[in-house]
Chains A and B, each alone.
Chain A
Amino acid sequence: MRTAASLALLVLVACAGARPAPEELPDKPAGAPVALAPTPSGSVSPGGKSNFNAKVWVSWQDGAADCEASARAMRDNSAEEAWQALKACVELGRFNRGPFVQLNLLTNYWEDELRTRPDAPRIVARVIANRGGDVDGDISKVQMIRMPVFTLKAALSQPDIYKGRYVIIRGKLTDVKVDAKSATAMLDEVSMKAADLTRTGQDMGIIESRYNRLRFYDEHHFAENVMNPTGRKVLGRLPEADPFLEPDKEFVFVGRFDGAKPSNDEQKVALLNVYGYYRPAALVIQ
């Protein structure tokens, strides 16, 4: 009888420890996971290859900040899986309260990864886009931890210094030429600047005197972010022409700066090997 009970207990324990199939999205396990529970074999399959499924894991997370915290908690077990989890928070996270915008969490807790991982600039570019695409403002934040991403302005002013470095720009497509191996897009950089604007109200007021009758409207003064073309141009190499990269729509582009060439309208045009581009959110987060 005792043997049978032990056997039943063993079966129960084995079932409780079973891991979900890689592509299914199972229910969130009880007790909101901070990290994947360490198992005797970790999350590594017998072949030595990680079977951590970032897509499944990120579906268990409630919000962007929790997601980052959970990813951070995984670092003690596996730095690689923690980074994959963070990437999933930024790239795959569909959170009720909006996408990942917490640049300060990245700069506070992922300093080494941002400085050394080759895919970190893509993550940062996406977060900048999620935050509304204030590239100049946000690049200065990540440069505080010496993450090697730079502005187009800096790259074009000293092309030899910045060749082979990552550049993030906000820009829009003006022209594309396609050849056998790739597509090349002409981009115009745009920058965001705060401007003081005035709006005339809809309601009319009337002042009447003995001789005159005057009409007036309220004027509201407000500050707004407006887009200004910087005049700087980029030739961006893409693997192929992408119909989603629509002309005159703005994107945050990240790529490798490959130098600058003079153009026939007497300005330098940057060459960029584009690694990714993202639509900026409408509202800017400071």
Chain B
Amino acid sequence: MRCLLLILAASFGLPAAADRTDLPRPPPRMPVDERPTPFACNLERLLKGERCTFEFDPAPGASSESLAHENSRYAARASRSCAEAATRPEELQPDAMLRKMCEDDIARIALDEQCTLVGRVPFADDDGRLVASAGPCVEELARALSRTRTMAGVALACCRCLAQSRCGVSASQCNRELADFAPGEALQSCLESSCQETCSSLRPSPPAASPRPPSKARIDRAADTRT
């Protein structure tokens, strides 16, 4: 009987105790402003490598093939930057071959799952603000553009020279290998035999000679602390 009374008392007492605390309650929260900011990530800003925030946050839905296709098309807009990337700094027109290579790379990346987002969320909202899950896709697209810029700035002139010198390596392969700073055997032999001046920055440097050990006189001078 005493136990029953205790249980009853506890069951009435506990909720009341939970309501009562000595600590004053904080005032109610203020309404927040979650409008997008001018720092929201869009495709152009991300491709330029600017700092930005992902401010489009849709709820993921069921996988949709049409949305995946649309996402892929949106990502492929990055190929608009191929013309600029494939232009040598001292020229006005893009190199047609580099531009084609860039556009092919972008198209291939855009078809990948990281760009289609498996059709579960849209790539961007109506104002071009990207969803956070599109980040890895845009990083890959930016890498392709950056590689094209390296080819245009570093490898293109050398590869043109090698082609005129009747080097057997195709121009696209030459550009790829030189942009990765990893020429294959065939390209290596071309570099050794021709275009010494044009390709000087891309030629592997000869192994550095090991520094001579310091002479005894120099060691003695270094240890002497007298002024």
* Choice from A146, A186, A256, A265 contacting B24 with Cβ under 8 Å: A146
Interface flags for A167-192 (1: CB within 8 Å of B; 0: not) read 00000000101110000101000000
Bound form: Cα–Cα A262–B40 in Å: 10
> Contact at B54–A256, with CB atoms within 8 Å?
no
Binds A, one of B29-37, B67-75, B159-167: B29-37
Q: A164-B32, A237-B33, A259-B34 are in contact. Are A186 and B26 (CB under 8 A)?
A: no
The reply to whether A269 and B24 contact each other, CB–CB distance below 8 Å, is no
With both chains docked as a complex, state the minimum distance between the C-beta of A147 and any C-beta of chain B, in angstroms: 9
A21 contacts which chain B residues (CB < 8 A)?
none
- What is the bound-complex CA distance between A264 and B30, given in angstroms? 28
Answer whether residue A41 sits at the interface, using C-beta atoms and an 8 A cutoff: no
Within B14-58, which residues are at the interface with A (CB < 8 Å)?
23-24, 26-27, 29-34, 37-39, 41, 46, 51-55
Residues of A close to B94: CB separation below 8 A:
none
A163 within 8 Å of B (CB atoms): yes
Q: Bits for A154-169, please: 1 = Cβ < 8 Å to B, else 0.
A: 0000000001110000
Residue of A nearest to B130 (CB): A264
Kindly list chain B residues whose C-beta atoms are within 8 Å of the C-beta of A177: 37-39
In the assembled complex, the Cα of A257 lies from the Cα of B14 at a distance in Å of: 35
Q: A235 with B53: in contact, given A146-B24, A148-B26 (CB under 8 Å)?
A: yes
A213-B226, A214-B225, A235-B37 given as contacts; is B51 within 8 A of A164 (CB)? no
A164 touches B29 (CB 8 A): yes
> Binding site of A, secondary structure by majority: helix, strand, loop or mixed?
strand
Contact B55 A261 (CB under 8 A): yes
- A273: interface (CB < 8 Å): yes
CB pair B54 A261 closer than 8 Å? yes
**Contact at B32–A163, with CB atoms within 8 Å?**
yes
What's the Cα separation between A164 and B31 when bound, in Å? 6
- Partner among B26, B51, B53, B135 whose Cβ is within 8 Å of the Cβ of A146: B26
The answer to whether A116 has its CB under 8 Å from any CB of chain B is yes
Collect the chain A residues with CB atoms within 8 Å of residue B27's CB. Answer: 115-116, 148
A235-B39 contact, Cβ under 8 Å, with A212-B225, A263-B53: yes
* B195 at interface, CB cutoff 8 A: no
Name A268's closest neighbour in chain B (CB-CB). B53
Q: Which residues of A are found within 8 Å of B29, using beta-carbon distances?
A: 163-165
Is B38 in contact with A179, judged by CB distance below 8 angstroms?
yes
Question: Quick check: is B227 within 8 A (CB to CB) of the other chain?
Answer: yes
Least CB distance, B29 to chain A, in whole angstroms: 3
**B101 CB within 8 Å of chain A:** no
Hey, which chain A residues are within 8 Å of B30, CB to CB? 164-165, 256
A186 partner residues in chain B, CB cutoff 8 A: 39, 51
B111 interfacial by beta-carbon distance below 8 Å: no
Q: Is A152 an interface residue (CB 8 A)?
A: no
B132 interface residue, CB < 8 Å from A?
yes
Say whether A49 faces chain B, with CB atoms less than 8 Å apart. no
Q: Which residue from A215, A235, A256, A264 sits with its C-beta under 8 Å from B46?
A: A264
Q: Is A81's beta carbon under 8 Å from chain B?
A: no
The answer to whether A262 touches B54, judged by C-beta atoms less than 8 angstroms apart, is: yes
25 A-B interface contacts by CB (under 8 A): A115-B24, A116-B27, A146-B23, A146-B24, A148-B26, A148-B27, A164-B32, A165-B29, A165-B30, A177-B39, A184-B38, A213-B226, A215-B227, A235-B53, A256-B32, A258-B33, A259-B34, A261-B54, A262-B54, A263-B41, A263-B51, A264-B46, A264-B52, A269-B39, A269-B53
19 extra A-B contacts, CB within 8 A, seeds A165-B30, A177-B37, A259-B34:
A164-B29, A165-B29, A178-B38, A184-B38, A186-B39, A186-B51, A215-B227, A235-B37, A256-B32, A258-B32, A259-B32, A261-B53, A261-B55, A262-B132, A263-B53, A264-B52, A264-B54, A269-B39, A273-B33
Residues of A within 8 A of B (CB): 115-116, 146, 148, 163-165, 175, 177-179, 184, 186, 211-215, 235, 237, 256-259, 261-265, 269, 271, 273
